[in-house]
Homo-oligomer: A and B are copies of this chain.
Amino acid sequence: MKAEIISVGSSLLKGLVENKNAAFIARELTSVGINVTQAVMIDNSKEKLLETIEKAEQQADVLVFTGGLGPDDDDIVKTTLSEHLDKPLVLDDDTQNRIITYHKNSDLIMPKNNQLQALTLLDSIPLVNVTGLALGMFYQSDTHTYILLPGPTDELKPMFTEKAWPLIIEHLLNGQVVSTKLVRLFGLTMAQAQRNLGDILVSDDTTFIEIFPAGLEIEVQITARGLDADEVHQLIAKAESEIEKSVAPYIIGYGDQNLPNIVRKLLKEKELKITGAESLTGGAFLSELSSLFEAGLFFDGGMVTYDESIKKEVLGVDEEVIETHGVVSAECAFEMAEKALEAFGADLAVSLTGAAGPSSLEGEIPGTVWIGVAVKEKSTFAKKFHFGYKRNQNREYSVWSAFNLIRQVLLDEEIESIIYKEKVKKDE
């Protein structure tokens, strides 16, 4: 089955907004074997839209439209499609009532053509817009399927996932059972993941496995189709076990929760508080922590000790440690984490110190970073990383690596290549 995505809007062609919708829809459709053969962005011109629809009908079975559902004169998708299919538009009363109520409550002037937003093709299935006003639509002719979605991404995504997706499965996949699972990876590049997973990424009729970058993490997406839940469950389990064989050391979790959210959940469950003392990352770790939902449950505060003087005079790192070992050292990382643990009364403390770049620091090449962890009444350790030469990239990798270390500590996982404070002391 083939699909084409048609995005309508002059703002796209003037470069005012990026077309994030096409990538989102393409990923979802591809995962169930519907191949997107073309995605096109066009202006709000009726003539152009008609021409694009006619062409798309020759090449694809499913036409997905984004944008052009609003109340303005140039929101022409519904009227053009109605004309093209010779099918009248009818008013969806629920949506019309919602639109009237919305404008009443918000003191906004209701656009003259607001009815446009509440129209849907006769015999179509209207798609309710839970985060906006314009109604979407799912319509099947004898030959083609037409899915109309709104332009704003925060309206399009929930409408697609909650309203359109079940209809796609029911009508286009003959009601097969479809299920998706994400395996999350951290610590390798897309190219490495591609190599490690190799043959697993070849998809067949029943199982689709593809990898997607998700910030610094990688999502391995497994989608399975089958006649019943059992079959699908088994297909996913099989794929999962193959993935685990290939990339076990890099798996950080399952589902759509990223590393900070995984750590958040563990901290909340264990009722632990965390703090941090940051040098090269300058607050990025603390900022990420505090942005999490219910941050107050596990976070009280922390310190940014960018300059050496602040490490010593405000945080209280032993001057001798810095003089002997420098700030890019396990010893400095130990001290920073322990002093932060104490000052902020936490159960866990992270420290980040290193050479962010672009220049070297204490003879260490840019990208050399020590991350320290102090666990209250347990242990203090540090791990050395080499990231790269790009300053802001180093900062990001450092923050994510810190979250990963904390995740491993909270799960009692064995962590490779770490140096314990006690060990160093004994060796001295």
Contacts and interface: CB of A to CB of B under 8 A. Distances in A.
Interface of A: 12-20, 22-28, 30, 35-43, 48, 210, 212-213, 278, 281-291, 295-296, 299-307, 309-310, 314, 343-345, 391-392, 395
Given A16-B27, A210-B16, A296 B307 contact: yes
A24 B28 CA distance: 25
Given A290-B304, A304-B301, A310-B344, A15 B28 contact: yes
Contact of A17 (B23, B39, B40, B291): B23
Contact of A302 (B19, B283, B288, B343): B283
Pick the 3 closest A-B CB pairs, nearest first: A282-B290, A15-B27, A283-B286
Q: How many copies does the complex hold?
A: 2
Contacts of A304: 283, 286-287, 290, 301-304
A164 to B, nearest CB: 15
23 contacts: A12-B23, A14-B27, A14-B210, A15-B22, A16-B27, A16-B210, A17-B213, A18-B18, A19-B22, A39-B41, A40-B40, A283-B283, A283-B285, A283-B302, A287-B287, A290-B306, A291-B392, A299-B306, A300-B306, A300-B309, A301-B306, A303-B303, A314-B343
Contacts of A300: 306-307, 309-310
Given A23-B19, A392-B291, A39 B14 contact: no
Contacts of A212: 15-16
